[in-house]
């Protein structure tokens, strides 16, 4: 059942376009017309790129119906709004919540953050992991500053992070090792690491929560999107009991006339 649905699902994430490939040099014995015919036959090359509109539409069809996915920007009540997040998965408090929040999605409504990478190399990997680590700190500063009724500050739950990669240099094992090496070199807190990375048609790199600084790579090939759906929704299905207080997001310090 699942296999048949996701068999062609990748096409819903990718925008395909034809590009002209450079014609190979022909020998002096080949006539001009023959060379043109050969070049023309090899000129149509289909390339695939991540398409934001298609991704939003496709993923909205496979996440829990209680949630929505869109290109909003995350923010917490302290005003911290990390850069580099491509898509937010959030509880749709009301139809116009992103417009009401001027393009932002409040931390209390967030269930997941999505990062899109066209071509993953070492530089792009480092940039992406840095963005993820920053976004994982949402609400941490707020909880540290506010007083609570308990002896210890209330714990802030990091928002799950998912990375979608169209293509990568090297094998999944190489990418996994580069991920661990980056986190070790930068001494990144294990709570600020990404949760799932999907390399389309290659496989998944999944955080192993049983151990710190640990990931498992799965070469799932054609079944990659199916397993991404299953594992991602295990995160999205968890209840986040975060009541939102919109008063905290108002930064105006105005005393209105009272009668």
- What are the pLDDT digits (tens) for 131-157? 999 999 999 988 764 444 444 445 678
Mean pLDDT of 214-242: 93
Mean pLDDT of 165-181: 95
User: Do the Cβ atoms of 159 and 135 come closer than 8 Å?
Assistant: yes
Q: Is 80 exceeded by the pLDDT of residue 45?
A: no
- What are the pLDDT digits (tens) for 10-33? 889 999 877 665 544 444 555 555
What are the angstrom distances between the C-alpha of 16 and each of 19, 245, 246?
Answer: 10, 43, 42
Higher-scoring residue by pLDDT: 47, 13: 13
Q: What is the pLDDT at residue 26?
A: 46
Say what percent of the chain tops pLDDT 90: 68
Q: What is the pLDDT at residue 19?
A: 66
Mean pLDDT of 91-103: 93
Q: What is the pLDDT at residue 33?
A: 54
Segment among 38-52, 98-112, 169-183 with least mean pLDDT = 38-52
Confidence band, pLDDT 50/70/90 cuts, at residue 78: very high
Q: What is the pLDDT at residue 242?
A: 79
DSSP assignments along the chain, one per residue:
-HHHHHTTTHHHHEEEEEEEPPPPPPPTTS-HHHHHHHHHHTTEEEEEEE-HHHHHHHHHTTS-TTEEEES-EEE-TT----S---EEEEE-SSTTHHHHTTTEEEGGGEEEEEEEEEEE-HHHHHHHHHHHHHHTTTTHHHHHHS--SSSSPPPPPPPPEEEEEEEESS-HHHHHHHHHHHHHHHT--GGGS-SEEEETTTEEEEE-TTSTT-EEEE--GGGHHHHHHHHHHHHHTS-------GGGG----------
Q: Is 90 exceeded by the pLDDT of residue 217?
A: yes
d(CA 139, CA 135): 9
Mean pLDDT of 226-236: 97
Confidence band, pLDDT 50/70/90 cuts, at residue 254: confident
Segment among 1-10, 20-29, 205-214, 239-248 with least mean pLDDT = 20-29
Q: Is 70 exceeded by the pLDDT of residue 246?
A: yes
Mean pLDDT of 93-119: 96
Mean pLDDT of 84-89: 98
Name beta bridge partners: 163.
Answer: 115, 197
Mean pLDDT of 37-59: 77
What are the angstrom distances between the C-alpha of 117 and each of 35, 65, 158, 164, 168?
Answer: 38, 26, 21, 6, 9
């Amino acid at each position: 059942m699942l296999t048949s649905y996701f068999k062609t699902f990748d096409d819903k994430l990718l925008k395909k376009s034809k590009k002209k490939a450079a014609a190979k040099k022909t020998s002096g014995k080949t006539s001009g017309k023959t060379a043109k015919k050969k070049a023309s036959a090899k000129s149509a090359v289909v390339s695939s790129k991540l398409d934001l509109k298609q991704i939003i539409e496709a993923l909205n069809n496979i996440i829990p119906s209680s949630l929505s996915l869109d290109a909003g920007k995350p923010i917490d009540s302290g005003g911290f709004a990390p850069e580099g997040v491509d898509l937010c998965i959030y509880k749709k408090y009301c139809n116009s919540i992103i417009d009401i929040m001027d393009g932002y999605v409040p931390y209390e409504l967030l269930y997941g953050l999505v990062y899109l990478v066209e071509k993953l190399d070492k530089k792009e990997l480092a940039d992406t992991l840095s963005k993820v680590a920053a976004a994982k700190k949402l609400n941490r500063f707020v909880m540290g500053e506010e007083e609570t009724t308990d002896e210890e500050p209330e714990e802030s739950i990091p928002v799950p992070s998912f990375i979608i990669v169209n293509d990568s240099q090297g094998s999944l094992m190489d990418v996994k090792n580069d991920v661990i090496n980056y986190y070790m070199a930068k001494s990144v807190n294990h709570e600020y690491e990404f949760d799932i990375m999907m390399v389309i048609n290659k496989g998944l790199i999944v955080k192993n929560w049983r151990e710190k600084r640990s990931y498992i790579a799965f070469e799932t090939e054609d079944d990659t999107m199916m397993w991404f759906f299953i594992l991602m929704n295990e995160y999205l299905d968890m209840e986040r009991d975060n009541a939102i207080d919109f008063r905290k997001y108002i930064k105006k310090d105005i005393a209105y006339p009272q009668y």
